[in-house]
Amino acid sequence: MNEPTEQLTPTGREVLRSPGVTAFMVAQFTMTVGVMLQAAALGKHIFDITDNALDIGWLGLAEFLPAALL
C-alpha cells in the first residue's frame, strides 16, 4: 500500500516569492490607491462647484448604493 505523501503548507514568505501573487498584490494596492484618490478628487471637485457639504454626502451615497444593492 502506498504511504501518503506529506504536504507542506507554504509560509507567507514562500507565497510572496510567487510572481503571480506578487503581481496581484501590487495591482490590488495600485487599484486601491487609485480608487481612494478618485473619491477624494470627486469630493473636492463637487465641493468646489457647489460650496455645499451636503452634496458631498449625496456623492458618497451615490458611490455606496450600487455596492450595497448587489
pLDDT in tens, 33-60: 999 999 999 999 999 999 999 999 999 9
Kindly list the domain boundaries of the chain, sorted by start residue: 43-70
pLDDT in tens, 14-26: 888 999 999 999 9
- Phi, psi for 18 (deg, rounded to 5): -70, 125
Cell matching residue 17: 516569492
DSSP structure class, residue 18: S
In the prediction, which pLDDT does 12 show?
84
- Is the full-model pTM beyond 0.95? no
In the prediction, which pLDDT does 26 show?
97
Round to the nearest angstrom and report the end-to-end CA distance of the chain: 51
In the prediction, which pLDDT does 53 show?
93
Residue 48: strand, helix, or coil: helix
Q: Please, which residues have CB within 8 angstroms of residue 63's CB and are 6 or more apart in sequence?
A: 39
In the prediction, which pLDDT does 3 show?
73
